[in-house]
Amino acid sequence: MAPPEPDPPVVTSFRNEQVKFVRSLAVGKFRREHGAFVAEGLKLAGTAREMDWPVRMVAYDAAAPRGGFLDVVLDWARARDARLLPVTAEILGAMTAKDNPQTVVGVFDQRTLTLADVTPRPGATWVALEQVRDPGNLGTIVRTADAAGAAGVILVGTCCDPFSIEAVRATMGSIFAVPIVRADAVAFAAWAARWPGSIVGTHLAGTVDYRAAAYRDPTLLVMGSEGPGLTDATAALCTDLVKIPMAGRADSLNLAIATALMIYEIRRPALGRV
Ligand SMILES: C[S@@+](CC[C@H](N)C(=O)[O-])C[C@H]1O[C@@H](n2cnc3c(N)ncnc32)[C@H](O)[C@@H]1O
């Protein structure tokens, strides 16, 4: 058996070009330019490995204990021709600006789909988010879609970046498992007009309780933006407008919470019991 490959020399300078590249990916403009994003932590790198997601670089704490899962991830990255970058803990921490830095920071290709890639298969639930603004909400929704077995998430109009560090962090690895589609509002409207099942909009003016609606399969769930909610044009596309009842003084639910309730209600027959 061939001896394991030696690690590259440890990078100790913030002026190193690769270190500067990883840090630049904190900015959306550079993420778009390079079609790349950063995911931090061994857990996320492990999910990327499971999904064999295209990996460009793995930076890691040169002082981290070896012989465990870190080596599994590094072996995978090496086999995928990714660059391995052993760095100091200080540099690793600066790559994600987190108080408790992880042992690994990976750089991955961005991958999104278009509406032409979406097939409304029987049993599928797709989640469309109109102008979602908050990366934490978006990441949480991607994670929930994954947990509940939804087919994917469609970003309609100008949305926050699903590949920002905050959004990726909130997905807890589901960014590598859930297809993400981007569409402008006009294309989405034309595409949705041919959807064969229910198009369920969630609206504070909805008159049907979300637990009482009959969801026709496949289901397209449409959620409004954190600020203004669903636009009139998108609400008009929906076959059903449902509301989640509220009893207290809150005038609405958080978008990610409302989406989670909806996905679990729509997928209740498919999910069965634990
Ligand atoms: C924070 S709310 C937006 C509130 C906004 N001011 C409005 O009037 O719709 C974000 C999205 O979550 C969903 N949502 C929140 N609470 C809801 C509820 N009680 N019933 C149905 N949908 C809800 C809707 O999709 C809404 O567009």
pLDDT tens digits, 51-65: 999 999 999 999 999
Q: Are residues 257 and 176 in the same domain?
A: yes
d(CA 140, CA 137): 5
Measured in angstroms, how far is the CA atom of residue 228 from the centroid of ligand 1?
Answer: 8
- Return the structure tokens found at 258: 């409302």
pTM for this model (two decimals) = 0.96
CATH number of the domain at 89, please: 3.30.1330.30
Q: Is residue 11 part of a domain?
A: no
Q: Are residues 134 and 260 in the same domain?
A: yes
Q: Are residues 95 and 42 in the same domain?
A: yes
Q: Are residues 57 and 127 in the same domain?
A: no
Name the domain boundary from 70, 90, 109: 109
Measured in angstroms, how far is the CA atom of residue 258 from the centroid of ligand 1?
Answer: 7
Q: Is residue 138 part of a domain?
A: yes
| Contact by Cβ (8 Å): 220, 126 | yes
- pLDDT, one tens digit per residue, over 193-234 is 999 999 999 999 999 999 999 999 999 999 999 999 999 999
CATH number of the domain at 174, please: 3.40.1280.10
Q: Which residue has the tokens 């669903």?
A: 230
Q: Is residue 38 part of a domain?
A: yes
Is the CB of 226 inside a 6 Å radius of any atom of ligand 1? yes
Measured in angstroms, how far is the CA atom of residue 156 from the centroid of ligand 1?
Answer: 16
Is the CB of 202 inside a 6 Å radius of any atom of ligand 1? yes
Q: Note the pLDDT of residue 2.
A: 62
* Residue 60, domain extent: 17-109
Measured in angstroms, how far is the CA atom of residue 225 from the centroid of ligand 1?
Answer: 8
Q: 274 pLDDT exceeds 70?
A: yes
How do beta strands 55-61 and 104-109 pair?
Answer: antiparallel
Is the CB of 243 inside a 6 Å radius of any atom of ligand 1? yes
Q: 50 pLDDT exceeds 90?
A: yes
- Return the structure tokens found at 1: 């058996």
Is the CB of 205 inside a 6 Å radius of any atom of ligand 1? no
